[in-house]
C-alpha cells in the first residue's frame, strides 16, 4: 500500500509543478471539441434527426447524451493509457528507472499508484467536462447509479489490464507516440465513442467486441440513459468482467517480462 | 559478502538489414567474471568504455539477470532472492539521473524511503540525518531542477543511502563534478566504508580516485577479467617496466630536438613537449631504464632546470594491461 500512496503523491506533486493548468485544460479541451463537433454535425448536418437504426442500436434517440457519455469515457481511457502505459518508459527517459527497480518495489502497487492519481485527476476533469457539456444537451433521463458505479469499477480494472499490455509494447518498441496514438485511434473508431458499432463492417465489429471499452460504453449508456439495472445487463457485465480479468492476467504476466527487460533496453 | 563466479551476460540486438529485414546479433557484454566484495571494503572495477563494468554492476544490483554463472550476496542467490537482496543494496551513479527533478530533496527521499517500506519515524530521522550528511538541509524544500550539478549528485548519495544498505554500487560517482565536490564525494565514500562498514564496488575513469580509495581492484576488458589485486600490486606487476621521466629545460634547440628524436627512436620510446612559462617541459615514457643516457644527452645540449623520475601509476598499469589484452 505504501508504494501505491507514495507513487500517487509523487505524481500529484510532479503534475502540479510541471503543468499547473495546461494538462487539465488540454484534456477538457479535447472533450469539448469532440462534443462541439458532434453537436454541429447533429444540429446542422442532420438537423437533430437520428435514424431508426440508431435508436434500435443504441436504445436511445438522444444523440448528444450518447456522444457526450462516449467522450467522457474516452477521457478516462486516454488518461489511464497515458499514465499507466507510459510509466516505465517515462522513468527510462527521465533516468529514474534504475533507482526505482533497485528498490524492493511492488510493481503492481507502483502502477496502481499511477492509476489512482489518474482516476482522481480525471474524475475532476470529467466533472468539469460534464458541466461544459450540459448546454450541448446532456440529459440524465433515467440513471441507475449502482449499475453505473459497478460499470466504472469493472471498466477501470479492464483499462488497467489494457494499459499494462500497452506498457510492454512501448518498452519493447521504445516508443510512446505511435503506440499510444494507434491504440487511441482504434478505440475512437471501433468502440462506439460517437456512433454505435453496428454501423461498422462485421469484421470490425468482431474486433470491437474484443475491446473492453466497447462494453464499458454500452453498459454506461444503458445505465445512465435508459436506467437499466445490473441484472438486465448481466451478460454485458459478465463479458466486461471476463475481459477485464483476462487483460489483467495477460498484463501482469507481461509485467514480469517488462521488469526484466526494462533495464536491458537501456543498453540495446 | 558478495561472491560471484563466472558471471555472464549476453545482449540480443536486432540489426537492420534493409527496410524489412532484421538480423539478430549477440553481444557478449560480460564473459565470465569472478569477484568478491567484503563489508567495509572498497573494490574498484576498471576498464575502458564497453568493457562490461556497468553490466556487471547491474547484474550485482539485481537489475539485470545474468545469463550464466552464479552469484550471491550474504548467502542470498542473485536471481532467486533478488527481492530480499534489494533491501540490503543500493546504487549511486554519476550524472544527474536517478532522482526526480520536479520533487524537492525531502520529497525524493520520502518517496524512495516509502518504496523501502521504512517506518514513518525512522524515515523522518534518516532523511534528516542524510540531508545533514550531504549538506542539503537548507535546500531540502527546493525542487531538484533548481539544484547545481554537485547538489544533485549529493542528493543521489543520500538517495543511495536511504535504506542504510550494506553494499553500495557506485558507478562513476564523481563524473563531471568540480574538483572540490569530487573530493567531498571521495571523502563520503571513504567514510562509508571505513566508519560505517559498507562494502562498496566503485567504477571510475579517474585513476587517482581508484588509487586513493580502493583496497582491491578488478580490471576487465571486453567482458573478461584481465587482472586483480591491490592497486599497488597491479601497478608493480603490470607497469613494472614503465619508466616516466619529467624534465624541465631552459631551452630547446633544433640540434637538441634532432638528437632527442634519434635517441628516443633508438630506444623505442616516446616523448611529448610543452613550452610553458619560458621553459620546456618534456615527458618521456620508456620501457627501458634510460635515465643516465638521457641526463648526458640533455645536459650536453641545454640547461636542465629539473629532472624527475616518476613512479608508474595505476593509469600506466591499466594502459599497459589493456594494450596486451
Chain B residue with the nearest C-alpha to that of A17? B102
Category of A188 on φ-ψ map: left (φ > 0), alpha (ψ -120 to 50) or beta? alpha
Q: What is the pLDDT of residue A7?
A: 93
Chain B residue with the nearest C-alpha to that of A7? B111
Say if residue B110's pLDDT is above 90.
yes
Q: What is the pLDDT of residue A126?
A: 82
Give percent of chain A with pLDDT exceeding 70. Answer: 97
* pLDDT-based confidence at residue A249 (cuts at 50, 70, 90): very high
* pLDDT-based confidence at residue B295 (cuts at 50, 70, 90): confident
Residues in A closer than 8 angstroms to B143, CB to CB, are 17
Indicate the residue of A14, A99, A102 with minimum beta-carbon distance to B99. A99
Angle at B4 between CA B215 and CA A107, to 5 degrees: 110
Q: Which residues from A are below 8 Å from B when comparing CB atoms?
A: 2-3, 5-7, 9-10, 13-14, 17-18, 94-96, 98-105, 260, 263-264, 267-268
Q: What is the pLDDT of residue A93?
A: 86
Q: Render pLDDT for B6-45 as a digit per residue (tens, 0 to 9).
A: 899 888 877 777 777 777 788 888 888 899 999 999 999 9
Q: What is the pLDDT of residue A235?
A: 93
Alpha carbons B186 and B200: distance in angstroms, whole number: 12
CA of B304: how far to CAs of B85, B284, B296, B300, in Å?
A: 60, 15, 10, 9
Q: Which residues contact A26 (CB under 8 A, 6 or more apart)?
A: none
Q: Which residues contact A86 (CB under 8 A, 6 or more apart)?
A: A167, A170, A176, A180
Instruction: Report yes or no: B256 and B285 within 8 Å, Cβ to Cβ.
Output: no
Residues in B closer than 8 angstroms to A13, CB to CB, are 102-103, 107
Say if residue A268's pLDDT is above 50.
no
Residues B154-163, mean pLDDT to the nearest whole number = 90
Contact B58 A98 (CB under 8 A): yes
Say if residue A55's pLDDT is above 90.
no
* pLDDT-based confidence at residue B219 (cuts at 50, 70, 90): confident
Chain B residue with the nearest C-alpha to that of A99? B98
Alpha carbons A198 and B39: distance in angstroms, whole number: 68
Instruction: Report yes or no: A69 and A221 within 8 Å, Cβ to Cβ.
Output: yes
Q: Render pLDDT for A99-137 as a digit per residue (tens, 0 to 9).
A: 999 999 888 899 999 999 888 888 888 888 788 878 877
Q: What is the pLDDT of residue A227?
A: 86
Characterize the bridge pairing of strands B199-203 and B167-171.
Answer: parallel
A243-247, B187-191, B249-253, B314-318: range with lowest mean pLDDT = B314-318
Q: At what angle do helices B314-324 and B231-238 cross, to 10 degrees?
A: 50
Report for A15-19, A228-232, B23-27: range of highest mean pLDDT? A228-232
Residues in A closer than 8 angstroms to B93, CB to CB, are 98
Say if residue B202's pLDDT is above 70.
yes
Amino acid at each position: 500500500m505504501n508504494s501505491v500512496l507514495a507513487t500517487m503523491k509523487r505524481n500529484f506533486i510532479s503534475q502540479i509543478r510541471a503543468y499547473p493548468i495546461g494538462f487539465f485544460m488540454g484534456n477538457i479541451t479535447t472533450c469539448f471539441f469532440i462534443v462541439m463537433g458532434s453537436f454541429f454535425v447533429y444540429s446542422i448536418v442532420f438537423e437533430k434527426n437520428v435514424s431508426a437504426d440508431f435508436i434500435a442500436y443504441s436504445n436511445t434517440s438522444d444523440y448528444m447524451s450518447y456522444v457526450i457519455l462516449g467522450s467522457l469515457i474516452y477521457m478516462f481511457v486516454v488518461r489511464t493509457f497515458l499514465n499507466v502505459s507510459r510509466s516505465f518508459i517515462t522513468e527510462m527517459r527521465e533516468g529514474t528507472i534504475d533507482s526505482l527497480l533497485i528498490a524492493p518495489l511492488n510493481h503492481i502497487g507502483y502502477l496502481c499508484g499511477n492509476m489512482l492519481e489518474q482516476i482522481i485527476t480525471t474524475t475532476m476533469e470529467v466533472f468539469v467536462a460534464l458541466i461544459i457539456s450540459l448546454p450541448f444537451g446532456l440529459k440524465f433521463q433515467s440513471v441507475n447509479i449502482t449499475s453505473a458505479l459497478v460499470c466504472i469499477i469493472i471498466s477501470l480494472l479492464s483499462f488497467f489490464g489494457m494499459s499494462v499490455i500497452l506498457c510492454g509494447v512501448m518498452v519493447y518498441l521504445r516508443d510512446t507516440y505511435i503506440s499510444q496514438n494507434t491504440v487511441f485511434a482504434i478505440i475512437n473508431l471501433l468502440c462506439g465513442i460517437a456512433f454505435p458499432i453496428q454501423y461498422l463492417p462485421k469484421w470490425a465489429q468482431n474486433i470491437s467486441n474484443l475491446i473492453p471499452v466497447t462494453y464499458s460504453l454500452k453498459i454506461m449508456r444503458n445505465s445512465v440513459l435508459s436506467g437499466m439495472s445490473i441484472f438486465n445487463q448481466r451478460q454485458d457485465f459478465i463479458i466486461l468482467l471476463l475481459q477485464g480479468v483476462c487483460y489483467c492476467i495477460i498484463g501482469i504476466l507481461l509485467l514480469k517480462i517488462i521488469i526484466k527487460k526494462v533495464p536491458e533496453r537501456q543498453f540495446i | 559478502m558478495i561472491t560471484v563466479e563466472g558471471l555472464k551476460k549476453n545482449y540480443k540486438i536486432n540489426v537492420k538489414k534493409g527496410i524489412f529485414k532484421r538480423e539478430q546479433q549477440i553481444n557478449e557484454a560480460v564473459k565470465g567474471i569472478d569477484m568478491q566484495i567484503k563489508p567495509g571494503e572498497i573494490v574498484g572495477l576498471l576498464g575502458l568504455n564497453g568493457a562490461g563494468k556497468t553490466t556487471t554492476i547491474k547484474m550485482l544490483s539485481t537489475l539485470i539477470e545474468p545469463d550464466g554463472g552464479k552469484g550471491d550476496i550474504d548467502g542470498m542467490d542473485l536471481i532467486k532472492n533478488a527481492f530480499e537482496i534489494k533491501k540490503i543494496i543500493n546504487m549511486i551513479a554519476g550524472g544527474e539521473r536517478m532522482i526526480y527533478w520536479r520533487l524537492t530533496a525531502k520529497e525524493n527521499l520520502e518517496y524512495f524511503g516509502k518504496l523501502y517500506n521504512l517506518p514513518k519515524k525512522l524515515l523522518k530521522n534518516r532523511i534528516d540525518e542524510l540531508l545533514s550528511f550531504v549538506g542539503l538541509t537548507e535546500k531540502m524544500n527546493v525542487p531538484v531542477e533548481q539544484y547545481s550539478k554537485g547538489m544533485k549528485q549529493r542528493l543521489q548519495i543520500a538517495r543511495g543511502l536511504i535504506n542504510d544498505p550494506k553494499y553500495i554500487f557506485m558507478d562513476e560517482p564523481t563524473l563531471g563534478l568540480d574538483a572540490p565536490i569530487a573530493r567531498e564525494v571521495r571523502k563520503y565514500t571513504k567514510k562509508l566504508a571505513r566508519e560505517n562498514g559498507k562494502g562498496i564496488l566503485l567504477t571510475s575513469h579517474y585513476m587517482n580516485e581508484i588509487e586513493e580509495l580502493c583496497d582491491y581492484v578488478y580490471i576487465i576488458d571486453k567482458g573478461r577479467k584481465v587482472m586483480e589485486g591491490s592497486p599497488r600490486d597491479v601497478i608493480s606487476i603490470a607497469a613494472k617496466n614503465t619508466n616516466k621521466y619529467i624534465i624541465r629545460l631552459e631551452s630547446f634547440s633544433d640540434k637538441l630536438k634532432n638528437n632527442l628524436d634519434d635517441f628516443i627512436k633508438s630506444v623505442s620510446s616516446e616523448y611529448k613537449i610543452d613550452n610553458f612559462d619560458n621553459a620546456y617541459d618534456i615527458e618521456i615514457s620508456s620501457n627501458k631504464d634510460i635515465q643516465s643516457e638521457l641526463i648526458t644527452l640533455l645536459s650536453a645540449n641545454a640547461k636542465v632546470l629539473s629532472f624527475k623520475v616518476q613512479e608508474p601509476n595505476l593509469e600506466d598499469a591499466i594502459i599497459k594491461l589493456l594494450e596486451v589484452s
